[in-house]
């Protein structure tokens, strides 16, 4: 993913007050003027990502009056030249360019926060907080999402790179689902969402590896949970479950797919209504952030 912003991994160095000329009384007043914005640094930690705005050093000449030795006011005062250095940033770029560079840097920070967490299955409480804070920074800069205008950006196949719900160690996240680990020999593979804005299809595609007794190899399957979706707000989506299709892959790919029957609504447990809602809190051409109706944070990248 290209990064347009200036991202560095070390803490920004400080300019000495002498070089900035802040000791000069006139310069001290200049630093309070609104047209001299301060440096913007995102983090001071040497292990975190820092976003810096460009700036340059410009020398400014200040003319200060000098009184004659006699103490009398001179009609044509002689001027002394005081030369000091101040921070003078160049004209700021258009807001859209500056915003896109900042978001690119914040997206890199988010990817760094969720990397190595196995889509959230290996996340602890500290990991959850860091990922949530990184996502909120992007959401704040990106602003509100309006799917009535940007619905076409949902189109495509999205790869899940993080879900806070998986920290519960179940495939259903915060909803009921089979646990992962020693209780059941199920290993979670890649997870995708396939969205078609014309047919309103919303499919969750999950790759699974199911353990078998030795010496048989594990069985690899792909489960597709088909839904239909509808907009119920400017950024909120409601999905309704329709069916589940399981297809074997790998050595057993020649087997036909198996369609699991849908549980009738009157037999469903109260915790499994067959529908759900989530809000799209950030969306662009290659990244999507959503927050579910049970507080789940999910991060997707276009696949």
C-alpha radius of gyration, the chain, whole number: 29
Q: Is the pLDDT of residue 114 over 90?
A: yes
- Residue 169 neighbours by CB under 8 Å, 6+ apart: 121, 179, 180, 181
pTM: 0.66
pLDDT of residue 212: 85
Tens of pLDDT, residue by residue over 65-90, are 455 444 444 444 433 444 444 445 55
pLDDT digits (tens, 9 = 90+) for 137-194: 999 999 999 999 999 999 999 999 999 999 875 554 444 445 555 446 788 899 999 9
Query: What are 208-222's pLDDT values in tens digits?
Result: 998 888 888 889 999
Domains of the chain by start residue, with CATH: 114-175+182-302 (2.40.128.280)
pLDDT band at 14 (very low <50, low <70, confident <90, very high): very low
Inter-residue contact 135 to 296 (CB < 8 Å): no
By the 8 A CB rule, do 76 and 102 touch?
no
Nearest partner of 300 among 138, 97, 91, judged by Cα: 138
CA distances from 259 to 9, 127, 162, 246, 267 (A): 50, 37, 28, 6, 19
The 10 Å Cβ neighbour count of residue 205 is 20
- pLDDT score recorded for residue 52: 54
CA 227, 230, 236 angle in degrees (round to 5)? 110
């Amino acid at each position: 993913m290209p990064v347009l912003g200036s991202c560095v991994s070390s803490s920004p160095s400080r300019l000495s007050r002498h070089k900035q000329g802040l000791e000069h009384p006139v310069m001290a007043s200049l630093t309070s003027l609104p047209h001299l914005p301060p440096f913007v640094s995102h983090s001071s930690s040497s292990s975190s990502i820092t976003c810096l705005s460009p700036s340059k050093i410009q020398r400014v000449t200040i003319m200060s009056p000098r009184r004659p030795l006699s103490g009398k006011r001179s009609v044509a005062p002689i001027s002394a030249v005081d030369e000091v250095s101040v921070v003078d940033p160049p004209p700021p770029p258009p807001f859209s360019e500056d915003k896109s560079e900042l978001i690119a840097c914040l997206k890199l920070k988010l990817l760094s926060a969720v990397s190595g967490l196995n889509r959230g299955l290996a996340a602890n409480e500290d990991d959850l907080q860091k990922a949530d804070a990184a996502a909120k920074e992007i959401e704040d800069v990106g602003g509100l999402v309006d799917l009535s205008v940007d619905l076409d950006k949902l189109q495509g196949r999205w790869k899940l790179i993080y879900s806070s719900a998986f920290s519960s160690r179940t495939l259903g996240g915060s909803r009921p689902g089979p646990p992962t680990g020693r209780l059941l020999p199920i290993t979670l593979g890649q997870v995708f969402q396939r969205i078609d804005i014309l047919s309103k299809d919303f499919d969750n595609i999950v790759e699974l590896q199911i353990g078998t007794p030795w010496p048989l190899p594990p069985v690899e399957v792909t489960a597709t949970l088909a839904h239909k979706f509808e907009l119920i707000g400017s950024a909120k989506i409601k999905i309704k479950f329709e069916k589940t299709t399981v297809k074997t892959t790998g050595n057993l790919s020649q087997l036909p797919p198996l369609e699991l029957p849908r549980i009738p609504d009157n037999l469903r447990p109260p915790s499994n209504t067959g529908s759900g809602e989530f809000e799209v809190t950030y969306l662009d051409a290659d990244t999507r952030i959503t927050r579910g109706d049970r507080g789940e944070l999910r991060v997707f990248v276009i696949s």
